[in-house]
Structure 1
Amino acid sequence: MRAIMLSGGLASLTAGAVWAHAGEQGFVLLLPTDVYIAAGGLTVALTVALLAILPGEFAEQLFRPIGIARLRPSVFARYFTSLAVSALLGWLVWRGLTGPGDPGVNPLPLAIWVVFWIVLVTVQGVVGDVWRWLNPWVGVGVLLRHLTGMRAPLRYPRALGHWPGVLGFLAFSGFLLADPAPADPGRLAVVVGFYWYAMLAGLMLFGPAWLVRAEALTVLMRAYRRMSFLGFSHGCISIGLPGWKIAKGRTVSLGLACFCLILLGSGSFDGINETFLWLGILGLNPLEFPGRSAVISPNILGLILANIALIVVFATALWLGERMAGGRPRALRGLFCLYAPTLLPIALAYHIAHYLTAFLLDGQYVLAAIARALGLSDLTISAGFLNTPGPVKLIWMTQAGAVVAGHVIAILLAHALAMRAGEGRRRAVLGQVPLALFMVAYTVFGLWLLATPRGA
């Protein structure tokens, strides 16, 4: 898989990175991927079948957390780490404006696209709520209020809900997928600096509600923290099967439900827009890709249409399931808000699978940058592991395993939520059939995305 986050689309990629991507994908195409794809789809289908015969409480019991220890987090420590991250971000923006133009050397693209977008998002979704400590606006907001004595003059409009966060994440995805050079240090510095100040202004005007509903990255991280195996329950640090906080949590708002689907839809299009299929639709020769500047409008349109299509298909599956279950049908909006978070395991799994190879390669640039900052000898950056069948097969199996595991957890979550809603086992199973078929089909689609030829 190509290291898209550092590419910048045009001349930003080094020859080694391009060659590494081509080598890995070439070996993947030699693997019996059709067998793996069929096995992944069958695994998800068998999970659905097992839920039909196992006791109704089985899925609910799987998501019961286990308390480990009582702990009261230090508010002061949280503000201190937030201020430290804000200072670091300011330095990174300055280096983006004044440092080297090579995104593999300048620390800003490495920090944003590798450390944050690949590593921190993954840790947030798998391990626990690290964003609580690293949010770069919380500490500055508290400090400004303490120094000025000013309180937020406006109340955040309840009618806006999470919709500003939805639009913000779509803009973020559009910048990542359609901008000609998202990894260009100077360009990225302007975008990051402007966004930080804009969100700080919103925080000072509307208070903390702005961050948790309108700031796209905080909404993203708060959504993914519901997936992590570590969390708090009844005042205790607890551990459980990933997604246990979704099983225990309240039904989300319509805006946040759409945000969950847009996470999945945008991540899926992040893979589609590189494929021979997509380039063929655009009438481009995949082996002579003209550059990202030639596909700006098609990629923006594709991103929007991919998310609309996913929302429509998901809503249709829920509507059909409610009709199949019989009885008094519930409102589609309520079903949509109840089951949308069950797609978070799939979105996170795709994020991990899609960027695994980029992490293994671009992570070396991060380590090299840290070594230079500490005055140590330069590290050798190698893509040799992508040019031998053994490591490539291990990477592919890890990616495929993550995708299948994400779908299995999603199905278990959907069943647990159906049982928690008071549905009998028969009604829950019947109502889940269209949604389960949707997830099986998406499993096959996701594995196909990992295996298909790429030309962008």
Structure 2
Amino acid sequence: MTPPSHLRRVGFGVLLTSLFALLSDPVAASNAAVGLAGASQDNLAVPRWLYLATGGATVGASALLASFVTDRRFIDQVHRWRRSVAVTGAFTRGLGIAGRLLGVVLLVLLVYLGYTGPQIPTVSFAIIVTFAGLRAGYTMFTYLVTDTWRALNPWRTVASLFPNGFVEYPDRFGRWPAVAGILVLVWVETAVGVTRQPSILATAIVVYSLVTVVGAIAVGVDVWFDRIDPVSVFLHFYGRVAPIRVSDDGLSVRLPGMRLVTDDQIADVADVAIAVVLVWELTFSGFVTTQPGATSIRTLVEAGLPPLLVYAVVYLGGFAAFLGLYLLAARVTARRIATFESPRALAVTFAPSLLAIAAGYHLAHYFGFFVSLSPMLVGALSSPLSPPANPIVLTLPSWFGGLNVAFVLVGHLLAVWVAHSQAYATFPSRMQAVRSQFAFVAVMILYTILSLWLVSLPTAAPPFL
């Protein structure tokens, strides 16, 4: 079937816009990790032909997907395909016990060695494990393989030992406390010095532990870790992209990202804000660790503004802009396609696609960082009480820059497929389903272009921090 002419014009316009934005000279792909940034300064060359070809082809494919893939049965078969593997209850319980024990031991070591270990980031067990191991590696495991945080979570293990649930949590708050918590944690990571001073990191972990355990006892373990705790919500939302889910019945294997379509767990605007903040916090940390970002911050500070105020305005203002742009797409869609669906309902419907973008960007943001520091991480975990005198950092080959671009684009393609599936599950009319995606795909393309631009830039240490 030939798509209508206005669909072809939209696809062609989107393609031209993306190619124009990608014409900036891609100097290098940034590792862009805030923690341990000084340990891995690998500027990775990205060929311009690869940048243009993959960017243009992916965005063009996005537009074509919305125009041509209209077989509802085929779409349903793709996102409902699954395989199950039975696992005995004793095996599952054993893994749960081992996970809880490992989580508690790891938490104790992070605090103890943060205070008593060497106060040098590149040999500190606390900093290496927190940022290379958990922030980078474990988060990647969560969306590439499966979410195991419920079993590993040490704060849940401790809080579950006490009577809990003395205070009723207001339903109207939803997950807004988790949104605020994620923003605060990223701000602490960026501005407080936890990535450079192990004792400060240990203090932050102690404070976080006290607040988390007391809060979980007050409102109830399930409520706290499902709605309020920023780390648990952060990992749970990423885990929805994963192909494997572990339950009492065994292992369930799906195609990556397909649970975003079938598992309806985004219920309100607070959940939408979490999906947006997962994209934005990576964009922010990516921006401030690039040379243009550092130059922009330095220029504003030299004009007389306090450094932390500049960072705060960029940080919170950027999040508000990202969220506002997405909600604007929902309002535009509701007005243009003549639907009974409210803008809020449309925002909730298409929000799972943002999690695919966040996963792709996180992988581009942290994969090279994780690989380059993996010898340090293995050494820290295998010998936590004996830090190495000469930590090893791998030098990555130049083709790793192409991987960063590929990760961002694969995340975008998966996001477009999720949005496409959501549209066909929501609207009975094919034309309405296709048109409902335009504004949201445009926002996703904007996010992706910004991500591609950031991974193309040379790295720099954030100034004044």
Question: TM-score, normalization: structure 2?
Answer: 0.84
Report what 1:189 is aligned to: 202
Q: In structure 1, what is the equivalent of residue 84 of structure 2?
A: 68
Preserved contact between residue 361 and residue 407 of structure 2 (Cα < 8 Å)? yes
Q: Distance in 2 between matches of 1:45 and 1:337?
A: 26
1:79-158 equivalences in 2 (<5 Å): 79-142=97-160, 144-145=161-162, 150-158=163-171
User: How do residues 185-334 of structure 1 correspond to structure 2 at under 5 angstroms?
Assistant: 185-207=198-220, 208-231=222-245, 235=249, 237-250=251-264, 251-284=266-299, 295-325=307-337, 327-334=338-345
Cα shift at 1:439 = 2.1
TM-score by length of 1: 0.85
Question: How far did 1:373 drift?
Answer: 4.3
8 A contact 2:100–2:154 mirrored in 1: yes
What residue number does 1:360 align with? Answer: 371
Q: Which of the residues 407, 412, 416 maps onto 1:407?
A: 412
RMSD value over aligned CA atoms? 2.7
Give the C-alpha shift of residue 36 in structure 1: 1.1
The answer as to 2:58 corresponding to 1:43 is yes
User: 1:60–1:51: structure 2 CA closer, same or farther, 3 Å change rule?
Assistant: farther
| 3-state SS, counterpart of residue 84 of structure 2 | strand
Unaligned runs of 5+ in 2: 1-29
User: What does residue 186 of structure 2 align with?
Assistant: 173
2:110 and 2:247 mapped to 1: Cα distance? 36
SS in 2 for 1:193: helix
Match of 1:92, SS state, is helix
Deviations 1:228-257, CA, capped at 9 Å, x for gaps:
011269955221221111111124222121
| DSSP 3-state at the match of 1:381 | coil
Question: What is the DSSP-based 3-state SS (H/G/I as helix, E as strand, rest coil) of the residue aligned with 1:266?
Answer: helix
Aligned residues: 425
- Answer yes or no: is the 8 Å Cα contact 2:103–2:153 preserved in 1: yes
Q: What is the identity, as a one-letter code, of the residue corresponding to 2:312?
A: I
Question: Aligned equivalents of 2:312 and 2:104: distance in 1?
Answer: 31
Stretch moving more, 212-221 or 360-369: 360-369
Aligned-residue offset at 1:438: 2.2
Q: Distance in 2 between matches of 1:359 and 1:209?
A: 32
Provide closer, same or farther for how the CA distance between residues 113 and 59 of structure 1 changes in structure 2, counting only shifts above 3 A: same
The secondary structure found in structure 1 opposite 2:80 is: coil
CA 1:432–1:4 in structure 2 vs 1: closer, same or farther (change >3 Å)? closer
1:440 aligns with 2:428: no
Partner of 2:10: none
